[in-house]
Structure 1
Amino acid sequence: MKLRLFFFQFLFVSLLFTINVFATHLRAGQITAVRDPNNQSTLTYIFTLTLYRDTQGVDQPTAILGIVPILANGQRGNVIASPDADANTPRRTVGVNIEEITYTFTYTFPSQGSYVIYFQEQNRNAEIVNMSNSVNTPFYVETVLNILPSIGSNSTPQLRNPPVDNAEVGQKFTHNPTAFDPDGDSLAYRMVIPRQSPTLSVSGYQSPETVGPPLGTPEAGSDSPTFVINSFTGDITWDAPGVYEIGTKGYANYGVAFAVEEWRKTSAGYTKIGEVIRDMQITVRNQSNKRPELIIPKDTTIFAGTVLKAVIRATDPDQNQSIRISSESAIFSTATTLFPNQPAATLDPPNHPPKVRDQYQYQGNPAQSNFEWKTTCTQVRVQPYDVVFKAEDNASSPNQLTSTKTWRVTIVSQPPTNVQAHADGQSIKVSWDAYTCSSRALLYIWRKEGCEMGVIPAYTIGAPANYTLIGRASLMTTSFLDELVKPGTSYQYLVSSSIDNRLHSLSTDPSCTSLLLKPGTPTTQITSPASNTTIAPSSSLTIQANATDTDGNIAKVEFFTFRTKIGEALTAPFSITWANVKEGTYPIFTRVTDNEGNINLSDEIIVTVKDIVNATEPQVKRKLITYPNPFLDEIFIQYNYPIQSISLINQLGVEQHISYEVVGNQSYLVKTNFLPAGIYLLKIQDKNGQQLVQKIVH
């Protein structure tokens, strides 16, 4: 009897073990969303859950999502829906015993708001070495989606490159998710700990470079291994894996996760509007195979309408191996739901991608592919296009190795042409040819004193050197009237196009002219206050000016700050009161007009408006705005007090003072192309000794 009982107990435990082993199949995945393309006015969204499973485990024929609202207090509410996947679940092979399954869900939200869409399933695959008991750990991914009137239509980033990849002991590993946002939003990346539920991380998680011993050694042959994600491009780099727990299996699986954040530019700067959490797996092997080397062009900025051509090359240290160059980037897709900014680019051989991965074409060693993109004005946008290329060798399965690199292509609007400036009465008229590049751009008119017909760059970040912005115009206009000019002074004009007043395509034909200083032209000068006067905010500022004319007939004196009129006086003494002046630094000048319509301008004076700060003033009064954030080569700062200094503090606590330039009232520009990627604290100290600190991502 005891023997029979022991037999049944053994059988029961064995069955449980067998069920558990064969249930271990999920290796990676994520959830993405697009607004229903058939009805953009509704709250209907189409979600895509993409899972990567071990085909040696049980199948995953269907899936269920969970949807919860984010409440006003930032907490998550209760589940409001659990939609089932549609019947069609496309599949493709993306690796040895690895299958990609795509599930789609259609759901109409009850109202606008912020929502979390999640997927949870038992179980992950076994033998993940950087977490505890992965075989019994649930698999969990989520996406945050905001459906708000303040941000307009919103689809999540689409992640194209499969999140299952191979690494080699002692060799640098690189991977890029090939994310693309159909709305043109800015993307930022950060590592997160994989989760097993909405609030619970997996147990015993360790970042891959800390698992060991041995921990592994970078390719350079010294120092400790590193595992990082580039917050701006999404490149994941592990330099370099060690041999931990590979043993007789010949491999070791590592599980990681990262967030793809979505940022949109609004009137208040850049605002985070959602994120996708992707769970990923890296398989490390110890073999003699060497990864291929990929050669791509340098990051490129081109005008819309350019036919962009390039040759992508790859070599492999193992001379007997062939290479295939491929890309999963969205710009190769002819589907407008994925890549709205058609036409698509091409790659020859056309590995970008077919439905079945094994259809990719291998070439020789070295290998090369021809890239071509006939760009159009509809493809102009603020963010560059990230074109991610992959070179993969044909080592025996499953030992193939890859190299991944990202080419950033920025498409800017075409510059205005045939800029002309000539006197038009008491003003200068600036004209240009009709603008033919249909895009979301505006035209910007720039001016500087003096004629210096030097070489003009094709485009510039921020204002052209030594020029001041004097006006904006729609694409439908072909002229601008500059009415604030001083007779006898030469002015040089440029016109640019830009969609965000940041990256400007410049006319390369500046035009210079002046108004004739006629005898009897009236004169004016500000007599009070003196230049460089400082007053308290919200004060009333009285400005006085004189005006003279040969016959004494002055029609009016107008008062301006920047190019904004703040008042006028018709009779002497010429004076106005400017009420409730806000903090800032203001250039102030006057324009006099005599009875015959002749005009002239005064010299500028500078008035600074700042508060008298005491030590107890709360910082909440001070408004610090930085954009874009994340940023690449520059960051704009808006701060409502005059700035004394700007510094950056890195993650080691090292503080570095940096230079900046004033680009407008309470607006500053910092060039950051010298910075390595990472997270920093931006510290602002104003002229009253007060400090504000804000986290920024480079």
Structure 2
Amino acid sequence: MKKRLFFLSFLLLSLLLTVNTFATHLRAGQITAVRDPSNLSTPTYIFTLTLYRDTQGVDQPEATIGIVPILANGQRGNNPVFLRADANTPRRTVGVNIEEITYTFNYTFPGSGSYVIYFQEQNRNAEIVNMNNSVNTPFYVETMLNLVPTIGNNSTPQLLNPPIDNAKVGQKFTHNPTAFDPDGDSLAYRMVIPRQSTTLSVNGYQSPETVGPPLGIPEAGSGSPTFVINPLTGDIIWDAPGVYGIGTKGYANYGIAFVVEEWRKTAVGYIKIGEIVRDMQITVREQPNKRPELIIPKDTCIVAGTVLKAIIRATDPDQNQSIRISSESAIFSTSTALFPNQPAATLDPPNHPPKVRDQYQYQGNPAQSNFEWKTVCEQVRAQPYDVVFKAEDNAPVPNQLTDTKTWRVTIVNQPPTNVQAHADGQSIKISWDAYTCSSRGVLYIWRKEGCETGVIPAYTIGAPANYTLIGRASLTTTSFLDELVKPGTSYQYLVSSSIDNRLHSLSTDPSCTSLLLKPGTPTTQITSPASNDTIAPSSSLTIQANATDTDGSIAKVEFFTFRTKIGEALTAPFSITWADVKEGTYPIFTRVTDNEGNINLSDEIIVTVKDIVNATEPHIKRKLITYPNPFLDEIFIQYNYPIESISLINQLGVEQRISYEVVGNQSYLVRTNALPTGIYLLKIQDKNGQQLVQKIIH
């Protein structure tokens, strides 16, 4: 009996050791999601689990993912749905004894809300030096989807560059996941600790640059090593790996993880609609080979319809090494499923998908590839295209080294053309040719006093220099009427197109004109308060003006601030009471109309409203104006420091960043037509880190 028990115990132990020995296979992976194009009437998604495994370990012929909702309290539900799938074929080889396996799952969500899709499996590969006991540590990745019916269809970014890469001791390492979002959403990147379950990080994790002693030395030859991810482009840079953990086997494996966040712009600002956790592995070797170096163009902004051409170059300090320049960026794909807005860019030699990486062509040293992209209007979007290039040498396996760099290409709408301005009665009419480029976006009309000549840039970030926004129009509109003009004053006009209220493509043909100052034109001027007066806040502000007409009578005097009418007076003395004026600085002017319909404008005065007695010095210096308040669809903001961000905080304390337009010097416009009625806190953060908060009512 004792012998039998001993034999059974030995057999069980041997089986356990066998499982632990052969389950040492998972190196990297992530989960991506695509809205099922064949079933858009329901929230049906196609999930792809992509894993990278040692082919010398146990196989992974099938996989199971879990789906669980995020509850109102932020916790995860207790009853996950499990889906199982067999591995797809064929599999792709991405390294020495490393293959990529994919699994596909279909699922229809029960309704809107936030959900987590996750995968957990035993075990990771052995000898990952920046965590404890990796061989017995589970592998875990997850993806979050926020299903909001009002934002439309959504698919997660696709991560096109495999998360398996090689680094060399003492040389800067670069990698990019080559994320592409087919919906044009904004992506952000951040590092996280790899996890072994929903709630547990791996044991004993250390960021790669802190592992040692000895620590690595940056490529420059001195200083402390660094390990960072660029939050905008996703470039991962390790400068530089050390020799820790290499030993007699000649290499050391490092495990890392990072998050790709997906943000969508809505009428009330950016909303986070998803994120992907990618687990990745870097293998460091000490070897004589040196990495190649890429030379790519500077970040570029072009107008849709432009043919973009560039030469991508690479050199290698090892003169006997050949180099291949490649890219797995989506813009090279002719598949409309991956890159919907064809035509695709080209790279010659064509080292980009769908070719197998082993078939990529090596060139000489130095090497160069020709890039060309015939852009079209359908490719206009708010976010730049991140075109990731890789240079790889042909050193003997497994000593190949790479350099990765990201070129950001922004495509803006074509500008409006043939802008003309001419007198139209008591107003100036601005017209332009029918706009044909894009079905998305808005036209903006800009004005400044005085006529100038000079080169107009093709695009601008924010307001054109010295111009003020006076109106907006749909893309189908071909004219705009400027009714707030002063006879005898020259005005120059520009029209721009933008899809995100930030980056404007400008008409290159500004038009300048004026209204004739006829004899007998009425005049008006504000008499109280005086310009540059400082007034204490109160429930109302009285504004008085005079008006004269040498050959008739005055019909009315209207009062404006920020081109918004705040009142009118029909008889002398001409005055209004402006109620509930908040602290801030206000430009105010009047418009007079006589009995014959002739008009004129007053000079503008500036009035500052502030609590002189109780205000502290920082508060006096940092002037925040919001008008009107309460407001309907728009709110104007004046703030005398450069703004970093604007947020709204609702009554539940939920804070959300909102987008805004720059409409003049220290003037901003927020459009809030989709905002629910209620009381909010408007929070302004300037570029010096200071914050001001003001209550507003919608």
Deviations 1:260-303 (A, max 9, x none): 11122223332322211100000011111111111111111110
Paired with 1:681 and 1:539, the residues of 2 have a C-alpha distance of 28
| 1:337 corresponds to 2:340 | no
Larger mean CA deviation between 84-93 and 29-38 belongs to 84-93
Identity percentage over the alignment?
Answer: 85
RMSD between superposed Cα atoms in Å: 2.8
1:624–1:550 CA distance, 2 compared to 1 (3 A): closer
Quote the Cα distance in structure 2 between the aligned partners of 1:524 and 1:229: 60
The separation in 2 between residues aligned to 1:551 and 1:354, in whole angstroms, is: 79
Kept in 2, the 8 Å contact 1:643–1:685? The answer is no
SS at match of 2:13: helix
Matched, 1:519 2:519: yes
Alpha-carbon distance change, 153 to 190 in structure 1, aligned in 2, over 3 angstroms:
same
1:605-684 → structure 2 map (5 Å cutoff): 605-609=605-609, 642=639, 662-665=665-668, 684=689
Conserved in 2, the CA contact under 8 Å of 1:536 and 1:609? yes
Deviations along 1:368-410, one digit per CA (max 9) or x if unpaired, are 2111111100111111000000111111111111110000000
Asked if 1:203 corresponds to 2:203, the answer is yes
Counterpart-to-counterpart distance in 2, 1:475 and 1:236: 40
Cα distance change of structure 1 residues 268 and 611 upon mapping to structure 2, 3 Å threshold: farther
The Cα of 1:540 is off from its aligned counterpart by 2.7
**C-alpha separation in 2, matches of 1:502 and 1:87:** 45
Q: CA deviation at 1:10?
A: 4.9
Match of 1:670 in 2: none
Alpha-carbon distance, 1:531 to partner: 2.8
In structure 2, relative to structure 1, the CA distance for the partners of 1:237 and 1:639 (3 Å cut) is: farther
* Contact residue 48 and residue 102 of structure 1 kept, 8 A: yes
Cα offsets for 1:504-534 (capped at 9, x unmatched): 1111111111111111110011222333445
Question: Separation in 2 of the partners of 1:574 and 1:413?
Answer: 46
Equivalents in 2 of 1:624, 1:548: separation in Å? 35
The one-letter code sitting in structure 2 at the alignment partner of 1:101 is I
Q: Distance in 2 between matches of 1:54 and 1:105?
A: 23
Question: Which amino acid letter does the alignment assign opposite residue 130 of structure 1?
Answer: N
Distance, in Å, in 2 between the alignment partners of 1:141 and 1:402 is: 26
Q: Which residue of 1 aligns with 2:359?
A: 359
How far apart in 2 are the matches of 1:335 and 1:94? 22
Residues 65-104 of structure 1 correspond to what in structure 2 (within 5 A)?
65-85=65-85, 88-104=88-104
Residue 606 of structure 1 deviates from its aligned partner by 2.3
Instruction: Report which stretch shifted further, 9-18 or 313-322.
Output: 9-18
What is aligned with 1:675? none
Q: What aligned pairs does 1:370-385 form with structure 2 within 5 A after superposition?
A: 370-385=370-385
Matches within 5 A, 1:402-441: 402-441=402-441
Equivalents in 1 of 2:2, 2:438: separation in Å?
86
CA contact (8 A) 2:623 2:640 kept: no
Report the TM-score when normalising by structure 1.
Answer: 0.88
Q: Could you say if the C-alpha distance between residues 610 and 279 of structure 1 is closer, same or farther in structure 2, counting changes exceeding 3 Å?
A: farther
Structure 1 residues 337 and 215, CA gap change in structure 2 (3 angstroms) = same
- State the Cα distance separating 1:624 from its structure 2 match: 10
Cross-structure match for 1:501:
501
Q: Does the CA-based 8 Å contact 1:561-1:589 persist in structure 2?
A: yes
Equivalent AA in structure 2 for residue 343 of structure 1: P
Aligned to 1:255: 255
TM-score (norm 2): 0.88
Preserved contact between residue 583 and residue 623 of structure 2 (Cα < 8 Å): no
Pair 1:262–1:383, CA change in 2 (3 A): same
Q: Provide the C-alpha distance between the structure 2 equivalents of 1:279 and 1:685, rounded to a whole number of angstroms.
A: 37
CA distance in 2, matches of 1:159, 1:51: 12
Gaps of 5+ in 1: 626-637, 649-659, 668-679, 693-698
How far, CA to CA, are the matches of 1:428 and 1:642 in structure 2?
30
Alpha-carbon distance in 2 for matches of 1:588, 1:12:
88
Structure-2 separation of matches of 1:579 and 1:591:
20
The separation in 2 between residues aligned to 1:681 and 1:590, in whole angstroms, is 32
- Alpha-carbon distance change, 283 to 310 in structure 1, aligned in 2, over 3 angstroms: same
Matches within 5 A, 1:395-474: 395-474=395-474
CA contact (8 A) 1:413 1:439 kept: no
8 Å Cα contact 1:86/1:105 also seen in 2: no
**Per-residue deviation, 1:329:** 0.6
The one-letter code matched in structure 2 to 1:342 is Q
Verify the 8 A CA contact 2:522 2:599 in the aligned structure 1: yes
Equivalent pair of 2:524/2:600 in contact (CA under 8 Å) = yes
In structure 2, runs of 5+ residues without a counterpart are: 626-634, 646-661, 671-684
User: In structure 2, do the counterparts of structure 1 residues 581 and 666 end up closer, same or farther at CA, with 3 Å as the change threshold?
Assistant: farther
Partner amino acid, structure 2, of 1:395: A
* Equivalent residue, structure 1, for 2:116: 116
Structure 2 match to 1:167: 167
User: Which moves more between the two structures, 466-475 or 146-155?
Assistant: 146-155
Query: How far does residue 684 in structure 1 lie from its aligned partner after superposition?
Result: 5.0
Whether the 8 Å contact between 2:121 and 2:139 is mirrored in structure 1 is yes
Contact 1:610/1:641 (CA < 8 Å) preserved in 2? no
Following TM superposition, by how much is the alpha carbon of 1:643 offset from its aligned partner in structure 2, in angstroms? 5.2
- Correspondences of 1:211-610 after superposition (within 5 Å): 211-534=211-534, 539-609=539-609
Instruction: Tell me the SS of whatever aligns to 1:82.
Output: strand
> 1:683 deviation in Å?
5.2
Shift in alpha-carbon separation, 1:422–1:173, aligned structure 2, 3 A: same
Contact 1:294–1:314, Cα closer than 8 Å, also in 2: yes
